[in-house]
Amino acid sequence: MSTLLVTGASGQLGQLVLSHLKATNGHKVIAATRDPSKLSDSGFEARAADFDKPDTLKAAFEGVDRLLLISTDSIDEKGKRLRQHTAAITAAKAAGVKHIIYTSLPNPVPESALTLAPDHYGTEQAIIGSGLDYTILRNNWYTQNLLDGLAQALSSGQWFTATAGGKVAYVTREDCAATAAAVLLNPPAPRAIYELTGPEALSYADIARIATEVTGKPIDLIEISDEQLHGGLTQAGLPGFVADMLVSFEKAVRQNELSAVTDAVKTLTGHNPVSARDSLAQALKA
Q: Is residue 220 part of a domain?
A: no
Given a contact cutoff of 8 angstroms between Cβ atoms, the answer to whether 40 and 67 are in contact is no
pLDDT in tens, 117-135: 999 999 999 999 999 999 9
- Inter-axis angle of helices 276-285 and 204-215, nearest 10: 40
- 207 CB-near residues (< 8 Å, 6+ apart): 146, 150, 276, 280
Looking up residue 42, the CATH number of its domain turns out to be: 3.40.50.720
pLDDT band at 146 (very low <50, low <70, confident <90, very high): very high
Sign of CA dihedral 92, 98, 103, 108: positive
pLDDT, tens only, 229-268: 999 999 999 999 999 999 999 999 999 999 999 999 999 9
**Is the pLDDT score of 25 beyond 80?**
no
Mean pLDDT of 187-212: 96
Can you tell me the mean pLDDT for 74-87? 93
Residue 178 lies in a domain: yes
Residue 18 domain-assigned (yes or no): yes
Tens digit of pLDDT for each residue in 89-115? Answer: 999 999 999 999 999 999 999 999 999
pLDDT of residue 235: 94
User: Total domain count for the chain?
Assistant: 1
CA quadruple 158, 163, 166, 171: dihedral positive or negative? negative
Structural domain includes residue 88: yes
Distances (CA, A) of 226 to 97, 243, 251: 43, 10, 8
Residue 254 is assigned to a structural domain of this protein: no
Q: For residue 281, give the amino acid letter.
A: A
User: Is residue 278 domain-resident?
Assistant: no
The per-residue pLDDT for 286 is 78
Domain presence at residue 225: no
Q: Which domain holds residue 99?
A: 3-139+173-195+260-273
pLDDT for position 43: 86
pLDDT at 166: 98
pLDDT in tens, 56-79: 899 999 999 999 999 999 988 888
Contact 183, 268 (CB under 8 A): yes
Reported pTM = 0.95
Whether residue 246 lies inside any domain: the answer is no
